[in-house]
Structure 1
Amino acid sequence: MTTQASAPPPSTKSQALRSYDVADFPALTGLEEDWRFTPLKRLRGLTGDGASHAELESSDEAPAATGAVRHEYGDLPEGVTITRIGRDDERVGSVLTPVDRVSALAYGAAADTLLVRVDPEAVLGEPVRLRVVGTGTEQPAFGHTFVEVGRFAETTLVVEHVGSATLADNVEVLVADGAKLTLVTIADWADDAVQAQHLKVKLGRDAKVVHIQVSLGGDLVRQFTSVEYTGRGGEAELYGVYFADSGQHLEHRQLVDHNVPDCRSYVGYRGALQGADAHTVWVGDVLIQAEATGTDTYEINRNLLLTDGARADSVPNLEIETGEIAGAGHASATGRFDDEQLFYLMARGIPEGEARRLVVRGFFAELINKIPVESLRERLGDAIEARLTKAGA
């Protein structure tokens, strides 16, 4: 679906501009509702501004998707393949149509697509692990990944982002009828990295996805996750854990589009912030279209401010076009340490610094425990505690 750039702003998320052509999206000014929290200058040209990007938009010879990143993975479980497919493969673009300028630029600039495929009815006893390694920030990199989970398959996929990069990428996730996917994505970039990502999940009948998104590293990380249903009984659970340090900008947006009857979604994100100019943004959009009777949905965001100078923006939104639903709700809370919790721990002989670390670890524990890989849970818990120790908390 493509509309002219001069069209009036959409009244609902379902009417938003969608196009594979970056030229259909006007240049960003920072005044747009979807970009008002994002410091555009820190995106290092990923918005497509400048002569080099104008040439890119009109060129048929896009640069390689892995110009400044590489993909690493070890031995794969039986039933899983990782290959590269061309832009002309019918799967590319079948799940995700860009909804903003950065995503459209990445779609056109990615030379090929990394395909992660899980065979139908494959039930994997071990996770599939993939590392996206940045090798430099000098030139923008553009990536495209397609995850295909066959009918009645069950698997866990862990995707870690590390190193230095200036990356715009799209990820398409197709979960077929009756399949179950646990997807863990980790942004543990170096301090100088910038990433803008659109991840889209399409769920079949009675399919389920559990997505745990962890954001710790990077100078600026902006992640947009969207969900669409294609059959009754689909379930989506989206969880997020993020910890912003001094000067970091971590932004998470979701759009759960209930367009089919009798589907379910739950969104729960938690973040902690410390240090001057630490900034997090969470925007949760849930759309229940008129035909989506029987929908059951809830979203919640909680933020913990550990120091002065940190800022958390939290915006939950519900658009409901039918009253025939099972339930819909949202909540948001941002606050500082609970003094009563600290007093309780310190009264039992626990030093203040250790008490603060225990409170923060407990704040994140419920979501981290949803990651079905014990070594990864322990590593993330240790990383959060190391940040607190470094800051003298």
Structure 2
Amino acid sequence: MVDEPFRVRALTSDDVAPLRRVLAGAFLTDLDETRPERVEHVLEFERTHGVFDGDDLIGVGAVLSREITLPGGVVAPVAAMTAAGVRPGYQGRGVLNLVVSSILRGIETGAGEALAVLWASEGAIYSRFGCGSLATDLLHVALPHGARFHEGVDVGVDRVREVTRAEALPVLKETYERVRRTRVGWLGRDEGAWGFHLADEDRYRDGRSALRYALHPCGYVVYRVKTGWDARGPQDDLHVHELVAETDVAHAALYRHLLDLGLGGEVKNYTAPDDPVVHLLANPRVAVRQRHDALWLRLLHVDRALELRRYGSDVDVVVEVVDAVCPWNAGAWRVTVVKGEATVRRTSAGRDVTADVGALGSAYLGGTRLSVLARAGRVREHTVGAVEALSAAFLGEREPHCPELF
């Protein structure tokens, strides 16, 4: 139930101090009002929504105007939802509903992106707004210092060089811009996004070193070091912030560089689920792996979104979409894919598949299979074989991955 006095408006630069207080309270972090938060690198105030109780800001949420790479190498605008939080004492009173509803209306009437993405702080919250979980996953790998590669690994002849931040930045930006257009789930970055991504004050280090930078002619790695010591001697853990490689040789060379650095400890990285690093190892069992959910995805305009991306096989099915939050998506759509390109039109023909919009969001980038969602009751088949055909069309050659928080 939403309290009557609550009202919503776009924030301005005058609202920065109360915005900081709301986010610090929501995420139980220490507040230093003398220093800007890194989120301020990227906020677009006209797309930042606040909920007020009288004159008091009690809830916030923002949209960032970004680009995302979709299956088939299509680069499309995306609404990146972030900085959503409710002040302590106001949880459970409809404030977050107001924030998210305001964000969705703002996208619809403003920039009009066909899809939105977010990182969910709590897994049970955003599904009720039609956001699909597990649109991308992250794989956390921990590799022991000095782990050997199998004999067939080619690390090339090019040296990996440790460089200063100033020397690294232009190379990082140029390399990332080339690579991100070939990797499904990667986002475009403007200067603000780079500032956010590489923020390096003490409060962002979690007891680790400043960011360190190493360059290869076809890639780079950014990492931190956390030194330690135990009964076996020094244990220097290297925490990878980002590893980007244009070639398999560069990928192997950058990992080899990290594995040979320091004394003892591990190389730890949140990476793509299909990162081949485990298969580089002479003993793959030494890699400890954990899989985590990453991007959640919301189809804001089902027809436009489905037509943006490319597909792995032809298909012709009628999909009944269930969407209680964005009613313009609800109803039957004929999805026809020919040579990888889709046409999506309203239809009165009989349905082959019924899916809630969140299930389509989960499968949209090609990672989660619609056939698996059908087994979980998120998708229903009315025509035998329709789910399997649609599921196969959605899959990509590589698993989607988003290498950054926002």
Shorter-chain TM-score range: under 0.3
Is the radius of gyration larger for structure 1 or structure 2? 2
Larger helix percent = 2
TM-score, scaled relative to structure 1: 0.26
TM-score, scaled relative to structure 2: 0.26
Larger strand percent = 1
